[in-house]
Amino acid sequence: QKRNIDSDFIAGVIQNFINSMQTIREAIPFMVKEEEFVVPIHEPPTKKWKRLGEDMQRHFALEVCDTIVSHAKERFSFTKHLISATLVQANFFRKHSRMFPGSALDTALEAYPFLDKAKLKTELSLIYENEEFHSCSGAVALFRVLMENNLQDIFTETVSLLNIVITTPMNTSESKRCFSTSNRIKVFLKNTLAQDRLNALAMLSIEKKLTQDIRDFNTKVIEKYAAQIHRREKFMYK
């Protein structure tokens, strides 16, 4: 995996893939030929065999191509967060100290317009020029350094950007990147069981840090559970 991410390169690769799929789609009418399906001799005569005609084959092939193109456009419609992450990757700090990544900053502001551009640029410039921050292994490590040294009130915009980068699922080669949460999200999305109870438990597992920060969270859950009317057992007595 490459750490150096170029937004133009990403957009170009995606567009090339979509163009290739469009070329295949346009060639389908000339590729599809009616195929004859011969019933095997050893097969029982009672089994019914269906033959896909040329029109049906063409219809299925076009549908597959349209689905692939649609998913490609939808899944890769937002890639600005990948560019924004390069602003807080420590292995780029020495390079950024020589030439500030203005294009990456502009991309980050397009994705997250609530950030103060001037203040964020000043904060990042200070981080890039400070050798102590160069030893951070990634966004999580940089966030911990700022919090442990009580610098969150000074680097307010950087902390806001770090909160976004850390909590946004992305494919990255950064070490110690909380892959367990990423895996839980993937399993949750792949789960086909549409049950509210399972969805709630999965959400609690993914957002466990958020629930830990809520005061008396467990007590509130127990009280709400006990106050439900339609239960076999009564947990509250007057």
pLDDT digits (tens, 9 = 90+) for 17-72: 888 988 888 888 777 554 444 445 555 544 444 556 777 878 888 888 888 888 87
Residue 146 exposed, middle or buried by CB count within 10 Å (0-12, 13-18, 19+): buried
pLDDT at 37: 45
pLDDT at 119: 93
Q: pLDDT for 169-209, tens place per residue?
A: 654 444 444 445 556 566 555 555 455 555 666 666 666 76
* Three-class secondary structure assignment of 105-139: HHHHHHHCCCCCHHHHHHHHHHHHHCHHHHHCCCH
pTM, full prediction:
0.47
Contact 7/83 with Cβ under 8 angstroms? yes
CB < 8 Å & 24+ apart, contacts of 57-62: 57/32, 58/28, 58/29, 58/32, 61/28, 61/31, 61/32, 62/25, 62/28
Q: pLDDT for 120-161, tens place per residue?
A: 999 999 999 988 888 887 888 888 889 888 888 899 999 999
Dihedral pair phi/psi, residue 100, rounded to 5°? -65, 135
For the chain, domain boundaries: 7-75, 80-167, 179-226
- As a whole number of Å, the end-to-end CA separation of the chain is 63
Cα separations in angstroms, 168 against 30, 78, 82, 162, 232: 44, 12, 10, 10, 41
